[in-house]
Amino acid sequence: MWSTINQLLKNIDDFVWGVPLMVIILSGGILLTARTHFLQIRRLPLALKWMIKNEEGGKGEVSSFGALCTALSATIGTGNIIGVATAVCAGGPGAIFWMIVAAFFGMATKYAEGLLAVKYRIVDHDNHVLGGPFYYIERGMGHRFRWLAKLFAFFGVCVGLFGIGTFTQVNGIASAINSFFDPESTFCVTIPKIGTYSWSVVIASLILTFFVALVLIGGIQRISKVAQIIVPFMAVIYILFSLLLILCNISKIPAAFSTIIQSAFDPMAITGGVVGSMIVAMQKGIARGIFSNEAGLGSAPIAAAAAQTNEPVRQGLVSMTGTFIDTIIICTMTGLSIVITGAWQVSGLEGVEVTTYAFQNGLPIPPTVSSFILMICLVFFAFTTILGWDYYSERCLEYLTNGSQKLIKRYRWIYILAVFIGPYMTVSAVWTIADIFNGLMALPNMIALFALNGIVAKETKRFFSEKRHLK
């Protein structure tokens, strides 16, 4: 029976995350790119400047940089390390090219999401912010579409609690720690009615739960403060070591780029038929790009709405940098490291093992040190994703319950409990269900972006024609 259920869920997942959804998200990015006249190229320097320069006198709960870090905390996760490796192994090096293409148009999508989040948000007298796709659906498209907003919020709660924010990330942390400290599972303990687990998993679970609870109890302000410390620090660490790997193998870069480009359009010529066709490379690359930066899913605008700003366009530009950093920089570096070292061609390797192989063989440091660095990056990336998705799902629940703080506090403790039991969850259906809900989030959000693309274009044109960016 369980095998039948798992197969049914897999079929639903394949349908939800099939070509139609990716076409919808990608076409939305192309439309918004055209409506904003390639703003992601023309205004990227300004966006990067505003990313670290907060607006003075803006209303909101956290700084623009804090809102960006909160959004990045949810997007920069295990997908940047494990997901890219999986995409390259399944779709060939060409998947990296299509991942970058998806990210390029995704920057326009992220810009629109951030703009609309601030434009249609509600800020009460206590500076408590209510905003995100549910509000730009309800207030932008009209009250008659409130059902669509509630649908998005429901999917958001499910994603946060049942998978992306808890089980998948926690399990990833536990696996990474166990693989480094006790790969053979030599030191184990039997937990009655649950199973036998390595002590490294049990200890990691307890420590992780403690620190997650410590942060979440403090709400958005504490999440933002922690994210502003951990996200830039770990991103810089990972980028520096990836850059070191690339520089140490600089002679191989031209060949790597040639392989990526050729494989993007003719994968079988590079792989000898080991991976699928150009369509497979496109599908894996675009899917990884969307999964990684979440452009079009509607999660990031929930954080963007909390930013201390009075200018929707400004926050849209700041939000746009998230996709640039997450995918075009971090994911590309991971992919390039894998291609340069030939890790994707080593048989028997999958997931994090591929990236670990690349670091061990590409860096001029002992393999044990390389593995440790990668493990630390995985742990902290996943940890911040847990924090970010708690905030997202709490805001979704707040919308569904008309702002019931009592229910939100109860939900927070349930979320912490889910983190605690996460390492012991082995049912594959949990991951599949989370994946389905993640995809379903995108549908209401993309409908809103298509419906409100004229508002995005109008606000953008007015902002720059009035030269408000020079003030």
Give me the tens of pLDDT residue by residue for the chain, a chain 471 residues long.
Answer: 557 767 787 788 777 777 788 889 889 999 999 999 999 999 999 998 888 777 776 676 777 777 777 777 767 776 777 778 878 887 788 888 988 998 999 999 999 999 999 999 987 766 677 888 999 999 999 999 999 999 999 988 888 877 666 777 777 777 778 777 877 777 787 777 667 778 888 888 888 888 888 888 877 677 778 878 888 888 888 889 999 999 999 999 999 999 888 888 876 655 555 555 667 677 777 777 777 777 888 888 988 888 888 889 999 999 999 889 888 998 899 999 999 998 888 887 777 788 888 998 998 999 888 888 888 888 888 888 888 888 888 889 989 988 788 888 898 888 888 888 777 765 556 667 777 777 788 899 999 999 999 999 999 999 999 887 777
d(CA 24, CA 22): 5
The whole-number pLDDT of residue 377 equals 84
Pairing of strands 129-130, 122-123: antiparallel
SS3 at position 315? helix
**What pLDDT does 431 receive?**
63
Choose among 392, 332, 322, 385: nearest CA to 107.
322
Contact assessment for residue 416 and residue 212, using Cβ atoms and an 8 Å cutoff = yes
Q: Is the dihedral of CA 270, 274, 278, 283 positive or negative?
A: negative
Residues 256 and 282: their CA atoms lie apart, in Å, by 18
pLDDT value at residue 269: 55
Cβ 200 vs Cβ 181: under 8 Å: yes
Q: How far is CA 455 from CA 34, 99, 447, in A?
A: 14, 28, 14
H runs (alpha helix) in 249-310: 253-265, 267-271, 278-293, 300-304
- Tokens 């994090």 map to which residue? 352
Per DSSP, the residues of 131-190 read -SHHHHIIIII-GGGHHHHHHHHHHHHHHHHHTTTTHHHHHHHHHHHHHHH-TT--SEEE
CATH assignment, 2-470? 1.20.1740
Q: What is the pTM of this model?
A: 0.88
Place of tokens 């997901």: 83
Q: Which amino acid is at 156?
A: G
